[in-house]
């Protein structure tokens, strides 16, 4: 495991913080995209990275208890 936390609660707390901040950033990014249809590659790559972080975090949450 590449997470070195003493308790499960610490891991879940960090993951929840990451998910909430990533969701806020993605929602803000999509709202800006809808307002102005000019899309830059940097923003799209950033949104894809944040989306993959959310997917990995949810996968980690589902796999961790078992």
Q: Record the pTM.
A: 0.38
Cα distance between residue 34 and residue 20, in whole Å:
21
Q: Is the pLDDT of residue 32 over 50?
A: yes
For 14-45, give one letter per residue: b (16+ CB within 10 A) or e: ebeeebeebeeebeebeeeeeeeeeeeeeeee
Q: Is the pLDDT of residue 34 over 50?
A: yes
Q: What is the pLDDT of residue 6?
A: 52
Q: Is the pLDDT of residue 37 over 60?
A: no
Q: What is the pLDDT of residue 56?
A: 80
Q: Is the pLDDT of residue 2 over 70?
A: no
């Amino acid at each position: 495991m590449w997470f070195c936390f003493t308790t499960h609660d610490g891991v879940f707390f960090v993951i929840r913080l990451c998910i909430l901040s990533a969701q806020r950033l993605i929602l803000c990014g999509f709202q800006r995209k809808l307002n102005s249809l000019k899309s830059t590659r940097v923003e799209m790559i950033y949104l894809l990275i944040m989306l993959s972080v959310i997917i990995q975090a949810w996968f980690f949450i589902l796999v961790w208890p078992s």
